Structures are given as structure tokens and as C-alpha cells.
């Protein structure tokens, strides 16, 4: 009886580990509807939020921004810089990569 219980317990502990990668695998069909969904997400609102880690690969129209070229944009604090993601202006930490501020619709 003890062997049966030990085997059952071991199987219960291993099963989620084995099944998790299969459930987390993305779908293989990334046709036109996938590209359309990405465009719709970009038009809905900001892709990045304050406190989130900035990922350059997720940024559309990525560009480092010179704040002096735009009105009402203050100089970034030491250790930060402005970047563009779509139509949003993001204040991002240089070393941490954390988004400190988001100005939506800056480049419309």
C-alpha cells in the first residue's frame, strides 16, 4: 500500500511539470489574423505601462527621442531617457529598463 501511495504522489507531482510546456506552447497559425490583431492592439492604447519593463522588440516605431525638439517635454532626470513606441513617449530608466512615465498620443 505504501508503494502505491508513493507512486501516486510522485505521479501527481511530476504530471504538472510535464504538461505545463505543452499548455504554454503558442499556436502555430500566425497568418493574417495575427498581424491584424497586433495592429488593433497598437491602436487601442499604450503598449507599455508605468512600472513595466521596457522591451524594445515590442515597441513599434522605436526611436530614442531628443526631448528638446518637442514642446512641453521636460529634460529627463539623470539616468533616464525618452523613447518612442508607436504614438507614445516613454520615459525609461537607462540601466533598469523600467518605464517611469507614459505620454500617450504624443506623435499623432
Q: By residue range, what is the domain housing residue 63?
A: 2-103
Count of structural domains, the chain: 1
Question: What CATH code is carried by the domain that includes residue 10?
Answer: 3.10.450
Average pLDDT over residues 47-62: 90
CB 91 within 8 A of CB 41: no
In a domain, 17, yes or no: yes
Count of other CB atoms within 10 angstroms of residue 65: 18
Report the Cα–Cα distance between both ends of the chain, in Å, rounded.
Answer: 70
> Residue 99 CB: number of other CB atoms within 10 A?
21
Q: Confirm whether 33 is domain-assigned.
A: yes
Would you say residue 32 has pLDDT above 60?
no
Residue 52 reports pLDDT greater than 90:
yes
Q: Per-residue pLDDT averaged across 88-95, rounded?
A: 94
Structural domain contains residue 108: no
If DSSP codes are grouped into helix, strand and coil, which group holds residue 40? helix
Task: Please tell me the predicted confidence (pLDDT) of residue 90.
Answer: 94
Asked whether residue 37 carries a pLDDT value surpassing 70, the answer given is: no
Name the more confident of 26 and 84: 84
Taking Cα atoms as reference points, which of 38, 53, 44, 47 lies closest to residue 85?
47
Is the model more confident about 18 or about 96? Answer: 96
Amino acid at each position: 500500500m505504501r508503494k502505491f501511495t508513493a507512486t501516486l504522489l510522485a505521479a501527481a507531482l511530476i504530471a504538472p511539470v510535464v504538461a505545463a510546456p505543452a499548455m504554454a506552447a503558442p499556436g502555430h497559425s500566425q497568418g493574417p489574423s495575427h498581424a491584424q490583431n497586433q495592429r488593433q492592439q497598437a491602436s487601442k492604447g499604450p503598449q507599455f505601462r508605468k512600472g513595466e519593463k521596457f522591451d524594445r522588440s515590442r515597441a513599434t516605431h522605436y526611436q530614442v527621442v531628443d526631448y528638446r525638439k518637442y514642446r512641453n517635454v521636460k529634460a529627463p532626470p539623470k539616468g533616464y531617457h525618452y523613447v518612442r513606441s508607436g504614438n507614445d513617449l516613454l520615459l525609461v530608466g537607462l540601466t533598469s529598463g523600467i518605464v517611469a512615465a507614459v505620454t500617450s498620443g504624443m506623435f499623432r
